[in-house]
Copies of this chain bind each other. A is one copy, B any other.
Amino acid sequence: MFDVGSGRRDRYTQDVFRSVGDGGSALLERLTLRSVNLPANRLLIGEGEIGNALYRIARGWGYRYRVFADASRQILDFLLPGELVGLGAALLGVTDHSVRSLTPLRASALDARLVAEAFRGEPELAVRLVRYVAAEADRVEELLTVIGCGDAVERLAFLMLSLYRRQAHRSRVDPLDTPFPLRRQHMADALGLTGAHVNRTLNRLRQDGVAIVENRRLSIRDLPRLAALAGVPTAAI
């Protein structure tokens, strides 16, 4: 008996295929098509082509975004090594977002029929896939909340904490020296700010001894304060 909605607080569901049993691993192996390599800042999936494309990121970071009025863009989520790309869209059919590499990226393309087969014969895997999508949606809702309610300092604190925790969840990382490959403009586009103001706000966070972003790395100097700014109850750190 697999558990659905059993209350596990597994918000950062990753490694979808790990410990799924023979069926899941076999499916994964059988449906891996090819490997792609991208330099930084290239289109992996264009707006509209989603639905057939399904990738698993082997190395590097990416992000998915929507364009607004053919002018600006909103980054919806960042994609870390080990995570899946295009799963949510594969379930809905089509969505209007694109995916781009943030750093040099290596990903393996999966056959989108994986999803259909999972639903047909691997309910346990299907549940994992759905949980994955729900966790993605949860992150977007968190981001929406901090953008709708918070000022620039709180938004940046949230972004730092969120990306730090996602990395810490999957591997041991030093809070004082975490990978953080976003440029100013990426933070701006994710948080509804401008690059210039992101820069000013980062300065303030550094001066206040909260956190430092430098050389594509994040150094968290005061985790409790960062979490407080990000709107996270201190108990949940």
Contact = CB atoms under 8 A, between A and B. Distances in A.
Contact of A140 (B92, B135, B137): B137
- Please tell me the size bucket of the interface on A: 35 or more
Interface stretch (A7-15, A100-108, A197-205, A211-219): A7-15
Interface stretch (A34-42, A142-150, A173-181): A142-150
A115 interface: yes
Nearest to A5: B90
Given A147-B192, A148-B191, A4 B91 contact: yes
Nearest to A229: B69
A31 interface: no
Interface stretch (A18-26, A55-63, A120-128, A159-167): A120-128
Interface residue SS majority, chain A: helix
Given A95-B138, A133-B134, A137-B137, A144 B144 contact: yes
A149 B69 contact: yes
Given A5-B51, A92-B135, A147-B192, A66 B141 contact: yes
A145 B74 contact: yes
B147 A76 contact: no
Nearest to A228: B69
Contact of A150 (B11, B68, B119, B145): B68
A97 interface: yes
Nearest to A50: B5
A93 interface: yes
6 contacts: A5-B51, A7-B51, A9-B94, A92-B134, A123-B123, A148-B191
Top-9 shortest CB links A-B: A148-B192, A68-B149, A92-B134, A137-B137, A4-B116, A74-B145, A74-B148, A5-B90, A144-B144
